[in-house]
Amino acid sequence: MTTPTRIRTRPHTDTRARILEAARRELGRDPDCTLADIAEAAGVARRTVYVHFTGRAALVEGLAADAAEAVRLASEATRVPSRDAATALARFVLTLWPAADRYRVLVNLARQDLGAHRVAEVLAPARTAVAGILAQGQQQGVFHTTVPPGPLSRALEAYLLSLLETADSNTWTDDGPTAATTALIAAGVTNARATSTVRRLHTTT
């Protein structure tokens, strides 16, 4: 009796990941770059790109899927209950920021390639998590109550996405602490408390 042949899929997976990484870099550099540019950056033939992706739309969707998983993992990692909503919000931004920074190319591609519905799907876990934190903070008197949690969450999201766009233009860089601090201040936390909260979290991670 012959032994069944094991199918090895890792090289295939590694090539796909290399193409996505090249796409992330090249589309960040030039949103109008071609698949040939991406193939060259990935060190593969153009036809190899088509083995994994049917075209530009599928390639961008691959990046969106990776980003969605990163957002989901970051949201789950910060799901641990916290007595202090300011700490919870700061921890969330600090945890999510590296993934957001990595996939900030999608901010520029959102309107052109993804559409509002897909963007909403990618950000859904983060939106739910932040709205919950804001509701808790409003009940605690930590955040201002002028705007309900849902709209306030979307306002903070727009603010943080604008920071990502600024970082992409090389006019501002941050590894998370400044973004977390200003997010707290925008939510209604005092400057002093926001700064001390983020500093405490950032120095212990």
- The string of pLDDT tens digits covering residues 11-64 is 567 999 999 999 999 998 898 999 999 999 999 999 999 999 999 999 999 999
pLDDT at residue 6 greater than cutoff 80:
no
Q: Degrees (nearest 5) of the Cα angle 18, 104, 123?
A: 105
Q: How far apart are CA 193 and CA 205, in angstroms?
A: 19
Alpha-helical runs (H) found in 30-148: 35-42, 46-52, 56-77, 85-102, 105-109, 116-140
Question: pLDDT at residue 170 above 80?
Answer: no
- 82 pLDDT band, cuts 50/70/90, is confident
Whole-model pTM: value is: 0.83
Average pLDDT for residues 149-161, to the nearest whole number?
91
Name the more confident of 77 and 84: 84
Sign of the CA dihedral with 135 first, then 103, 96, and 61 last: positive
Phi, psi at residue 6, to the nearest 5°?
A: -80, 130
> Could you tell me how far CA 151 lies from the centroid of its own chain?
19
Q: What is the pLDDT of residue 155?
A: 93
The pLDDT value given to residue 5: 45
Do 42 and 59 contact (CB within 8 A), yes or no?
no
In this prediction, residues 95-117 reach a mean pLDDT of 86
Under 8 Å between Cβ of 119 and 110:
yes
What's the pLDDT band for 109 if we cut at 50, 70, 90? Answer: confident
pLDDT score at 162:
86
Burial of 9 (0-12, 13-18, 19+ CB in 10 A): exposed
CA angle at 64 for the pair 58 and 67, rounded to the nearest 5° = 150
